[in-house]
Copies of this chain bind each other. A is one copy, B any other.
């Protein structure tokens, strides 16, 4: 981050540097970084959550095990911890099968979207109609009636290659949440989307969908991209394509789960909170390694390091392992309801995997962005000193950042993130232990800097 370093030097008199600050940051921060980089703590957390607990779908027994284990681990480290009750949905995946019955019999790789209702027990069979935009859907009108709507939009591989995988995802995922509602309005009997994936080995990717109580509910699945390609080719060749779809998930009554909240109380301004965290729940197909054992591991490792090094910050550092990011953000909302945005100095979220460190995104902009970016220069040796402006820095902290809290998101290289995300392939082997620990070290350093920052992060604030 050379340009920012220049700005830092130019702006140096404006900074309230502690007396012991050296060019790489103050000696305490440097020591924290060094200790963090020697640790294997983040890996141990990620391994336990994935290998020893496994998938942690909101409302599942494994999610409760994860709550108990993470809370118990904080406690065993001597860190104050409490559980904040959160109501979560209980949705249980069942059988899932799809096949083409015309123009050729072909098995398809399918998974139910999270929240989908079941098909009839014997499945349903109907012609497939392909849609690439909402306009196209609406233009089809009555032609949709009685059919399976196939939403077919790719992740743009050029955006992924350019490091903008989240932008490619946002564009491609458009139909997942409300596709079943819009198709049902026109009389469709089911929907399938092309899995939102940057790479596939016949791998289906799930994710949340929702219904509108005023519109008939229809089942919703996701096909592996290969099977989406197959249907696309058959339709392009002029064939009528007929699909059989069987999904038997069940929606059970909501259950009570919890956010896990651990705290290291600040010594000078304990009422000002730097909240850090990531979601503890995961999808059920894989073991939720990159999404989001990685973020939980970075968060817990940050707390462990601060506590183990007896670093008491000016402000309070509060770690929140949010329940139910994936299935409606009820943990995030519950947290924000009980902890007004105004009590927070900053919010740091980790929910973007554990690729090679690149640094962070933040809601800071302009001069404030440049000024704070320079504070991260000591992370340059691990490549984690990047700081880029973004309106979104994480889903669980979005309630806070929309209310004006300065947000930060751990933002490692994401080239491969959407090859694994929400799929059976999201397993521990997809994490490089060194990258995970480097990201944890970066999160710890950022947290420590924020918790000790002398002045406001934005110029305009008092």
Residues of A within 8 A of B (CB): 47, 51-55, 103-107, 109, 199-203, 225-226, 229-230, 233-234, 286-287, 419-420, 423-425, 427-429
State the CA gap A225–B103 with chains docked (Å): 34
Q: Which residues of B contact A419 (CB under 8 A)?
A: 201
Bound-complex Cα distance A248 to B55 (A): 26
Measured CA separation A226–B200 after assembly (Å): 15
What are the residues of chain B within 8 A of A226 when measuring CB–CB?
425, 427, 429
Residues of B within 8 A of A424 (CB): 109, 201-202
Q: How far is the CB of A154 from chain B (nearest CB, A)?
A: 12
Instruction: Report the minimal beta-carbon distance from A65 to chain B, rounded to whole angstroms.
Output: 9
Q: B residues within 8 A CB of A203?
A: 201-203
* Closest B residue by C-beta to A232: B429
When the two chains form their complex, are residues A52 and B104 in contact, meaning their CB atoms are under 8 A apart?
Answer: yes
Contacts A47-B233, A287-B106 given; does A200 touch B425 at CB 8 Å: yes
Contact A427-B233, Cβ < 8 Å, known A53-B104, A104-B51, A106-B287 = no
Q: Is the CB of B199 within 8 A of A104?
A: no
The smallest beta-carbon distance between A291 and chain B, in angstroms, is 14
Question: Could you pull out 22 A-B pairs where Cβ atoms are within 8 angstroms?
Answer: A51-B104, A51-B106, A51-B234, A52-B103, A54-B104, A54-B106, A55-B107, A106-B287, A109-B424, A201-B201, A201-B419, A201-B420, A201-B423, A201-B424, A201-B425, A202-B203, A202-B286, A202-B427, A226-B427, A226-B429, A229-B428, A229-B429
Q: Which of B230, B287, B429 contacts A427 (CB 8 A)?
A: B230
* A199–B200 CA distance with the chains assembled, in angstroms: 11
Further pairs besides A51-B106, A54-B107: 20, Cβ < 8 Å? A47-B233, A51-B233, A51-B234, A52-B104, A53-B104, A54-B104, A55-B107, A109-B424, A199-B201, A200-B201, A201-B203, A201-B423, A201-B424, A202-B424, A203-B203, A226-B427, A226-B429, A229-B427, A230-B428, A233-B428
- Report the nearest B residue to A62, measured CB to CB: B105
State in angstroms the CA–CA spacing of A51 and B420 once bound together.
26
CA distance A447 to B55 in the complex (A): 54
The distance from the CB of A7 to the nearest CB of chain B, in whole angstroms, is 42
Contact flag A54-B105 (CB < 8 Å), given A201-B201, A419-B201: yes
Chain B positions within 8 Å of A229 at CB level: 427-429
A196 CA to B423 CA, complexed, in Å: 21
Cα–Cα, bound, A103→B107 (Å): 34
CB-based nearest B residue for A420 = B201
Inter-chain contacts of A202 with B (CB < 8 A): 203, 286, 423-425, 427
Q: Which residues of B contact A55 (CB under 8 A)?
A: 107
Smallest beta-carbon distance A202→chain B, Å: 4
The 5 residue pairs across chains A and B that have the minimum distance between CB atoms? A201-B425, A202-B424, A201-B201, A201-B203, A226-B427
Q: How far is the CA of A165 from the CA of B103 in the complex (A)?
A: 36
Write out the residue numbers on chain B whose beta carbons fall within 8 Å of the beta carbon of A230. Answer: 51, 427-428
Interface centre among A202, A230, A234 (most CB of B within 10 A): A202
Alpha-carbon distance A429/B233, docked complex (angstroms):
10
A157 to chain B, nearest CB (A): 13
- Chain B nearest CB from A420 CB (Å) reads 7
| Alpha-carbon distance A321/B95, docked complex (angstroms) | 38
Q: How far is the CA of A53 from the CA of B103 in the complex (A)?
A: 10
How far apart sit A3 and B343, CA to CA, in the bound complex (Å)?
Answer: 74
Given the complex, which residues of B lie within 8 Å of A200, measured CB to CB?
Answer: 201, 425
Most buried by B among A51, A53, A225: A51
- Residue from A107, A201, A229 whose CB has the most chain B CB atoms within 10 Å: A201
Cβ-closest chain B residue relative to A419: B201
A284 to B, closest residue via Cβ: B107
A88 to chain B, nearest CB (A): 20
